[in-house]
Structure 1
Amino acid sequence: MNTLPVMEIAAALKQARRVLVLTHIHPDGDALGSQLALGMVLRGLGKEVSLFGEAEVSHLYDFLPGANEITTELPDLDSFDCAVALDCGDAHRLGDNMTALLAIKPFLVLDHHAGHQEFGDQRWVDPHRASTGEMVYDLAVALEADISSEAAYCLYTAIVSDTGSFKYSSTTAETFRVARELVLKGVKPAEVAGKLFDNYSLARLRLFQRVLEGLSLHCNGRIAMISAPQRFFGETGAAPQDTEGFINYPRALTSVKVAAFLKEAEAGMVSVSLRSKGATYDVAKVAAMFGGGGHRNAAGFKRFNTTIEQLSGELLRALEPLVEKC
């Protein structure tokens, strides 16, 4: 690990008195776990900390310690002498308050996305790390801060979430090193796994059934596509957040190299999640073609003023060159 960026971030935080900790819009387990854990670490150092998010924490993650402390009400930004953005690869993913948030000085950034678009005053970006949670752990060590059992729980959740239970190619010996340290602090892996993966409501299960019914295979089974039109949410009573993890099922098919999930959470806006297997299939490049980004094996984008039907054909044509001759 290059220790210079983390030490620079740590030095800036040591000088700060009041810190705003935030992450990207529509945060996942890595983003939320990292945000909550860093907040706990900084409070342990005597800092005044506020946690901000544009939307309420998804019910899928309300089990995380301190999740109810993330406020959706924008605080007085002039009162902060430092801000930290976690797991955010693009300034625009800070949301509607991007400009106001970036005015906080210094604005620090921790991220592990390979396609990171540089922003902020000081950055620690390491695409070789499997999760931002790993990086927050090392930041806490650099700060010589105590990592409480609750902070460890949040960080372990972040790591498990972004590595797909340690099965993605991004998982390294460093990932397991950090996970080991967190388990030694009292985290029970089976408990976290149960909260993350055995948490389907009946509505979510019915939505999952509807989505899988529409599974389509292309290019001799090497590309899989699923979708969730807006009407599915009304018909099943599920929420858009309930689709988290759905993309992993078509990806799990033996023949599939690339999987795509198109979701219409609101009329006219389609969000797309892309997943792939191995180093050969770089879905981040495809996401970038549509204005998105992410990792080689996990990426996504949004398209406005369109429908799933309109976008699916265009997306398929962009994905086909990734796989062998169709």
Structure 2
Amino acid sequence: MSSPDQHLVQAVRDKGHFLLATHFNPDGDALGSLLGLAEILEGMGKKVFRFLEDPVSHLYRFLPGCGQIQTDLESLREFVARAGDDFLALCLDCGDEHRLGRHSRELVSFRPMMVIDHHKGNSGFGDGAWIEPHRSSTAEMIYDLAVTLGAEISSRAAECLYVAISTDTGSFCYESTSSHTFAVAGELVRRGVRPEIVANQLYDNYTLGRLRLMEEVLATLEMHERDRIAVIRVTQNMLERTFTTMADTEYFINFPRAVTTVRVAVFLKEVEPGHVSVSLRAKGQCDVSMIAARFGGGGHRNASGCRFKGQSMDSVRDLLVELLRPEVLA
């Protein structure tokens, strides 16, 4: 594995105040990387501001340090002002500055800013970037950064990083999972992580409403192109009927993807009327990141996403099926 960017390492050594930010609707890797790095930096005596635009999803509230996440911009401004020149912003697991969310314009105004990410479509925004698309997760990179810094990785930090790696590798199943990934996971277990407890918190945490929602979502299953494309959807009405939120749909896309014939699974999510969020999951050589990138999204070859505004779910489905046809029939 390659070493962390030396400019980044030196900047982390030199600065005493850090803003940590990630993309909106953060997944396990984004949250785990942010919280894990925060613990590592504070263990080095640094001051850290953990920023998210919205509170943490209930699915990840078991992560150590969640209670220290802040969503208030005014508090962030005060933190940056107090830091003066002794400040560095770190943007984690975010392929594009616009994915920082509705406060992206102000967040990128806090300089210097450096990026740590493993998405191949990363635009390299900021004043410096350490981007390694072959990595299993951003958290794997955070671990290597901590080792290079000679920083202590506490049991709390280890749990955050393990959750991040586990979720972004599909429980160590995706092709980006390397021998180094397993070595890092092993070191995190040595530092106190209990894999069985983490698995229980991640995957055995369904409410009855979430189970009802899954029933409704799977009932929307459509198969296209000789059963090689599977499409499911969730609407706001489904969420209301089951007393759930969009966060409860996490991992649902794995079910249609698991069908033997399926090469690409598409999950259409009605964020609001006329606003459709799309998750794409592929198997084999299908590269869904190229499809997502056409619409301002991105991700990995086998796991990507994008958004559409001013279109119905049916029109988005038709468009994506048409674009995916040559991929799945190749």
Query: How far apart, in 2, do the equivalents of 1:288 and 1:317 lie?
Result: 16
Equivalent residue, structure 2, for 1:79: 82
1:1-326 → structure 2 map (5 Å cutoff):
1-3=1-3, 5=5, 7-74=6-73, 75-76=76-77, 77-80=80-83, 81-278=87-284, 280-324=285-329
Structure 1 residue 122 displacement after superposition: 1.3
Query: How far apart, in 1, do the equivalents of 2:295 and 2:45 lie?
Result: 43
Query: How far apart, in 2, do the equivalents of 1:176 and 1:8 lie?
Result: 27
Query: How far apart, in 1, do the equivalents of 2:110 and 2:294 lie?
Result: 31
TM-score (norm: length of structure 1): 0.97
Give % identity.
50
Structure 1 residue 314 displacement after superposition: 1.0
Structure 1 residue 267 displacement after superposition: 1.9
Query: How far apart, in 2, do the equivalents of 1:78 and 1:92 lie?
Result: 24
Query: How far apart, in 2, do the equivalents of 1:79 and 1:216 lie?
Result: 54
Task: Please list the CA deviations of residues 53-90 of structure 1 after superposition, one character each: whole Å capped at 9, or x if unmatched.
Answer: 00010000000011111111111133341110100000
Task: Please list the CA deviations of residues 81-116 of structure 1 after superposition, one character each: whole Å capped at 9, or x if unmatched.
Answer: 111010000010111222222222220110000111
Q: What is the aligned residue count?
A: 323
Query: How far apart, in 2, do the equivalents of 1:145 and 1:304 lie?
Result: 44
SS of residue in 1 equivalent to 2:329: coil
Structure 1 residue 8 displacement after superposition: 2.2
Q: More displaced, 269-278 or 310-319?
A: 310-319
Q: What is the aligned-residue RMSD (CA, Å)?
A: 1.1
TM-score (norm: length of structure 2): 0.96
Structure 1 residue 303 displacement after superposition: 0.6
SS of residue in 2 equivalent to 1:159: helix
Query: How far apart, in 1, do the equivalents of 2:202 and 2:278 lie?
Result: 22
Q: Where in structure 2 are there 5+ consecutive unaligned residues? A: none
Task: Please list the CA deviations of residues 3-61 of structure 1 after superposition, one character each: whole Å capped at 9, or x if unmatched.
Answer: 251x3212101111111111111100000000001001111111111100000100000
Q: More displaced, 48-57 or 305-314?
A: 305-314
| 1:228/1:264 contact within 8 Å kept | yes
Structure 1 residue 143 displacement after superposition: 1.2
Query: How far apart, in 1, do the equivalents of 2:271 and 2:230 lie?
Result: 20
- Specify the code of the residue in structure 1 equivalent to 2:205: N
- Specify the code of the residue in structure 2 equivalent to 1:256: V
Query: How far apart, in 2, do the equivalents of 1:136 and 1:17 lie?
Result: 18
SS of residue in 1 equivalent to 2:305: strand
| 1:18/1:79 contact within 8 Å kept | no
SS of residue in 2 equivalent to 1:3: coil
| 1:223/1:256 contact within 8 Å kept | yes
Query: How far apart, in 1, do the equivalents of 2:39 and 2:30 lie?
Result: 14
Query: How far apart, in 1, do the equivalents of 2:191 and 2:2 lie?
Result: 25
Query: How far apart, in 1, do the equivalents of 2:156 and 2:145 lie?
Result: 16
- Specify the code of the residue in structure 2 equivalent to 1:38: L
